[in-house]
Structures are given as structure tokens and as C-alpha cells.
Amino acid sequence: MKTGKPDRPEEQWLTQYLERYQASLFQPGVISLLVELKDLLCSISKKGGKVILAGNGGSSAIASHCAVDLTKQARIRAVNFNEADLITCFANDYGYEHWVEKALEFYADSEDAVILISSSGRSPNMVNAASYSVNAGLKLVTFTGFAEDNPLKRHGHLNFWVDSRAYNIVEMTHHIWLLAVCDQIIGSAEYSSNR
């Protein structure tokens, strides 16, 4: 890798872009929050609970990936709501703004934790799900970005916020943080995929 100041405009742009990722990943206080999340997930699992992850768009893909890794690799039972039949049925019957809330009503148990992921923190279905989670006594963890005072973040017991308005930086930071917690539970970042 070349060292020193980049010469070409493309290199300068990429250098600045990657510096934004570095800044987002190592925000003040995030390390202690990641440890707190690991402790919460382990505690939920020991009590027989599960982790429910949900998001829209790219955040739903993150929820799916993390649910599988938590379950298979970290042995923390985790699920997500990314089945097309569930989404369309509940959205049709209860409205898109309420489908995640209703899914939680049907699938969540009292000892579960809920992780809601939304770049903006303003998606109505996530905010309604957060409100339901708190009212149902579920532990709620939020992953957001954009405006620091977003509505989703106001509901969480643990709140991860990325100081960025760039979707890719917010989403990939969420993804790295969640997988870092998974690896922390496992105790390694290098392990066999057939664990």
C-alpha cells in the first residue's frame, strides 16, 4: 500500500471516504456499549430468551446476517422477520407502519431482546415496534444514524448511533458493530464456518 498523501483525485476521495468509516467505527463510548450489548445478549440467552432483529432494506439484510451468525456461531438464539409472506401478510392486515410491531406481538416472549436497525431512526414501522417493545417490557437495542435525536433512539435501553448521514457508512458501521459483538461472544474473529 502506498504511503503518504494521495496524488490522484480518486485516491484523495477514497482516502477521505475511508477516514469517514474509521471515524464512525471508533466513536467515543462505542467500545463500552459493545461490551454492554454482548453482556445483554449472553444474559438473555442464559434466561432462555432469544434475540429478535429487524430492519428495512439494507438494514434487514444486516438483521438476517447477524441473526444467523448469532445463532450458528455464537450459540445465541436469534431470529428476524425477513420472510416475504410474513411481511406482506402483516403489512396487508395491519398496515406497513405496524407490521413489525404486530410480528413482535405474535413472536416475542417476555425474556427476549429486540434489536431494531434504521439508518434514519425515523422509519414508522421501526418506531412503532420500539414503542411496543418498551411497553411489553422487552429489552430494546437501537442502531441508527443521521440525526442524533431521532425517534427510534429515544426508545432504546442501549442505543448505537453513527454520526453520519451517508447510508453506506451508517449501515456498514452497524453491520461491523453487530458482528464484532458476535465475535466477542465467540471469543475469536477467526473460526471455522462449520462451528
* pLDDT bucket at 3, cuts 50 / 70 / 90: low
Instruction: Identify the residue with better confidence: 192 or 139.
Output: 139
How confident is the model at residue 4, as a pLDDT? Answer: 67
Reported as a single tens digit per residue, the pLDDT across 109-165 is 999 999 999 999 999 999 999 999 999 999 999 999 999 999 999 999 999 999 999
Is the pLDDT assigned to residue 1 strictly greater than 60?
A: no
Strands (E), 14-112: 51-55, 78-80
CA–CA separation, 153 and 145 (whole Å) = 9
The helix (H) or strand (E) run that includes residue 173 is helix 167-186
Reference 21, options 185, 163, 131, 179; nearest CA is: 163
* CATH-assigned architecture of domain 9-186: 3-Layer(aba) Sandwich (3.40)
In this prediction, what percent of the chain has a pLDDT beyond 90?
91
Q: Report pTM.
A: 0.93
How confident is the model at residue 195, as a pLDDT? Answer: 61
Which range has the top average pLDDT, 5-14, 72-81, 185-194?
72-81
Distance of CA 189 to the CA centre of its chain: 19
How confident is the model at residue 2, as a pLDDT? Answer: 54
